[in-house]
């Protein structure tokens, strides 16, 4: 360490440092994080810290970083972080309250816990952050060639761009989020997902076990606000187009229960064989493709086109779902093969 320190009396925010800060094999423990075997080389000049080298283990995950921090009183951060192999579950511990406050979980609405306002420093900060990882995992989803870029300004994530591969598939998410109201965060997201398994995707975004298995291709644009389930659903606006398959439709969750009711009703009316309903109830329904075009507005989900091509049945539908009051209005065509 070789530092010159200037601290003006009565104006500590104008303090200045000049020199080089070097650290080797640093270990540190906090409530949520552990730092191990960390080396750092930081060049200090005036109100700017240039991180020439920062390398170590954070919660046993190997990370390296370089960048620059200017003006500690209203920080302007430029940071690039890299890792050869990272388990994001170790770095992004999600609380149960956070998981329940974001979106529909199939559970009754609960009051959203009041979250503290953003720290004062976060309201003043600006940041331009890039993260890259050769491979890793998050909530059971293995990924490779991950890149994440975000531009943050005084409580607002003005843009973010997340891209990664998973198996033979690819995920790209663009969007923004206003963090200044932590318990009701306005967000916008534009997904472009190709050839990712539905089960892995559902797990990664914190949804209950999916009623549908198979690969999914998803495009669209969606905006809304986080919060309790009904408030979240009522805020959604945008559209999503999806293609799935091949896979299996199972009697799991709300979608699975809906399919069971449809097959039960049609079998009673003699449209379909009763054995089809019994097979679905026990084992599920194999399908080749499912396509859907949907639009969201003020708690309403418009199903502009839905087609299921199965091994035993074909189905086409269109109509509207009231997601807040859980009412369904669909016109359907069904046929056996």
For range 174-187, the mean pLDDT? 94
Pairing outcome for strands 169-178 and 61-70: unpaired
Angstrom distance (rounded) from CA 6 to CA 18: 9
Q: State the pLDDT at residue 179.
A: 94
For range 299-303, the mean pLDDT? 93
For range 186-207, the mean pLDDT? 90
Share of the chain above pLDDT 90, in %: 51
Running DSSP on this structure, what letter comes out for residue 212? B
For range 249-262, the mean pLDDT? 63
Please spell the DSSP secondary structure of 11-29, one letter per residue: -GGG-EEEEEEEEEEEEEE
Closest by CA to 17, choosing from 8, 9, 26, is 8
Counting beta carbons within 10 angstroms of the beta carbon of residue 8, is it exposed (0 to 12), middle (13 to 18) or buried (19 or more)?
A: exposed
Share of the chain above pLDDT 70, in %: 77
What is the three-class DSSP state of 179?
coil
Q: What is the pLDDT of residues 129-176, one digit of tens each?
A: 999 999 999 988 999 999 999 999 999 999 999 999 998 999 999 999
The per-residue pLDDT of the chain, averaged, comes to: 83
For range 271-279, the mean pLDDT? 53
The secondary structure element, H or E, covering residue 237 is strand 237-244
Q: How confident is the model at residue 257 (pLDDT cuts 50, 70, 90)?
A: low
Q: State the pLDDT at residue 155.
A: 95
Residue 267 has pLDDT above 60, yes or no: no
Q: State the pLDDT at residue 111.
A: 52
Closest by CA to 184, choosing from 120, 140, 231, 249, is 231
Q: State the pLDDT at residue 251.
A: 57
For range 5-9, the mean pLDDT? 56
Crossing angle between the packed helical segments 253-268 and 274-282, to the nearest 10 degrees: 160
Residue 266 has pLDDT above 80, yes or no: no
Higher local confidence (pLDDT), 149 or 208: 149
Q: State the pLDDT at residue 207.
A: 74
């Amino acid at each position: 360490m070789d530092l010159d320190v200037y601290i003006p009396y009565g104006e500590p925010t104008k303090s200045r440092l000049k020199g080089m800060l070097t650290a080797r094999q640093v270990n540190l423990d906090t409530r949520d994080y552990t730092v191990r075997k960390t080396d750092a080389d930081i060049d200090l000049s005036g109100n700017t810290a240039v991180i020439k080298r920062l390398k170590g283990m954070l919660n046993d995950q190997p990370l390296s970083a370089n960048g620059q921090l200017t003006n500690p009183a209203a920080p302007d951060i430029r940071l690039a972080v890299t890792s050869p192999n990272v388990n994001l579950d170790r770095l992004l511990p999600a609380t149960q309250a956070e998981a329940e406050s974001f979106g529909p979980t199939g559970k009754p609405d609960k009051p959203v816990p009041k979250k503290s306002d953003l720290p004062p420093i976060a309201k003043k900060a600006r940041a331009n952050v890039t993260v890259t990882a050769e491979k890793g995992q998050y909530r059971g989803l293995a990924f490779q060639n991950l890149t994440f870029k975000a531009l943050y300004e005084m409580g607002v994530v003005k843009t973010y761009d997340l891209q990664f591969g998973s198996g033979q598939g690819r995920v790209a998410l663009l969007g923004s989020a206003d963090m200044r109201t932590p318990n009701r965060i306005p967000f916008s997201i534009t997904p472009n997902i190709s050839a990712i398994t539905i089960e892995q995707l559902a797990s990664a975004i914190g949804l209950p076990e999916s009623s549908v298995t198979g690969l999914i291709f998803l495009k669209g644009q969606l905006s809304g606000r986080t919060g309790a389930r009904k408030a979240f659903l009522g805020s959604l606006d945008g559209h999503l187009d999806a293609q799935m398959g091949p896979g299996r439709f199972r009697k799991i969750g709300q979608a699975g229960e809906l399919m069971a009711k449809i097959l039960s009703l049609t079998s009673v009316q003699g449209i379909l064989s009763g054995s089809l309903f019994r097979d679905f109830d026990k084992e599920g329904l194999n399908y080749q493709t499912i396509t859907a075009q949907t639009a969201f507005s003020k708690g309403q989900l418009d199903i502009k086109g839905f087609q299921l091509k199965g091994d035993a049945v074909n189905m086409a539908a269109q109509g509207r779902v009231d997601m807040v009051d859980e009412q369904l209005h669909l016109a359907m065509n069904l046929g056996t093969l």
